[in-house]
Amino acid sequence: MREIRLDSVPEPGVYPYTLPVVQGLARHGGLELPSPVTFLVGDNGTGKSTLVEAMAVAAGFNAEGGSQSFGFSTRASESSLGEHLVLSRVAGNRPRTGYFLRAESFYNVATEIERLDQDPGSPPLLPAYGGVSPHERSHGESFLDLVVHRFGPKGLYLLDEPEAALSVHGCLAALSRIRELVQAGSQFVIATHSPILLACPDATIVQIDTSGEIETVEYDDAEPVALTRAFLADPQRYLYYLFADDA
């Protein structure tokens, strides 16, 4: 993908069209994806996860997660935004594979993986996930199994807050694998709060603020990086103000 844009805003005063990121897309006409890795950052409520979900739906992925061949539905909670997103692709460069990882619903995806693997009419599925059911691994281990074993070269991968299940070591392992896949021709769009993932070389970091401003920022200026760095430099200062009412 090289660009996403809105074809219309059918209900301006109704969710999800009230989200800052949607207002920003409408105002700016779209969002370019100039790098193999694009990060979306912003505070809770700015709409970055909703945008990644909508991109996945527009690209033909299951709204709860998985590949384009997954068709299950546990509870339809996705917004209508995907119906109004237009994805512009690089001509002649269709992905060979792809996946939508939605951290909050990966349990449902794992259940579907088990069901499909037990279907006698289908080829074995678990080998593509490390040979072990995700339900038999920790949340973080199952995420890494997915990235290491299921993700492959020349793929399109849309990830919503993958760090939710990962330790610091897990984030570093995921970052290494992302870099490896990028060098093999893959593209990633990732909504994240992780300063570790944001350190991916040559990535584009798109920051969304609560007013709907969308801008590309450098690593040091990305809000998760700047706030984490400031806190670690002087945690007592932050704790003093956070707990001032306790005195």
Computed over every residue of the chain, the mean pLDDT equals 89
DSSP state of 135: G
Contact between 28 and 216 (Cβ < 8 Å): no
213 inside domain: yes
Mean pLDDT, rounded, for 124-149:
85
How high is the pLDDT of residue 246?
67
For residue 79, the model assigns a pLDDT of 76
Per-residue model confidence (pLDDT) at position 136: 83
**What is the distance, to the nearest Å, from the Cα of residue 209 to the centroid of all Cα atoms in its chain?**
17
Share of the chain above pLDDT 90, in %: 58
Tell me, what's the pLDDT at 122?
Answer: 76
Q: What's the CATH code of the domain at 88?
A: 3.40.50
pLDDT of residue 166: 93
- In a domain, residue 30? The reply is yes
**199's tokens:** 């350190």
Model pLDDT, residue 178: 97
Q: What angle do CA 209, 158, 231 make, to 5 degrees?
A: 45
Is the pLDDT score of 108 beyond 80?
no
The three-state secondary structure class of 29 is: coil
Residue 78 included in any domain: yes
The number of domains in the chain is: 1
CA 237, 239, 244, 247 torsion-angle sign: negative
Is 240 within the bounds of a domain?
A: no
Residue of 210 and 71 predicted with greater confidence = 210
| Per-residue pLDDT at 77 exceeds 60 | no
pLDDT digits (tens, 9 = 90+) for 139-173: 889 889 889 999 999 999 999 999 998 999 999 99
Confidence grade of residue 73 (pLDDT, cut at 50, 70, 90): low
Q: Is residue 245 part of a domain?
A: no
Residues 6+ apart with CB under 8 A from 49: 160, 161, 191
Return the DSSP state at 105: G
Report if pTM > 0.75. yes
199 exposure class (CB count in 10 Å sphere: 0-12, 13-18, 19+) = middle
Give me the pLDDT at residue 175, please.
97
In one-letter notation, the amino acid at residue 141 is E
Q: Which residues pair with 42 in a beta bridge?
A: 208
- Statement: residue 217 has pLDDT above 70: yes
Task: Tell me which residue of 86, 114, 66, 112 sits closest to 5, measured CA to CA.
Answer: 86
Which residue range forms the structural domain that includes residue 122?
A: 3-221
* 6-49 pLDDT per residue, tens: 988 888 888 999 999 999 999 888 899 999 999 999 999 999 99
Residue 66 lies in a domain: yes
Among 64-73, 96-105, 159-168, 174-183, the range scoring the smallest mean pLDDT is: 64-73
Q: Using one digit for the tens of pLDDT, what is the confidence trace for 175-208?
A: 999 999 999 999 999 999 999 999 999 999 999 9
Pick 102 or 228 by higher pLDDT.
Answer: 228
Distance (Å, whole) CA 52 – CA 29:
17
Structure confidence at residue 72 (pLDDT): 59
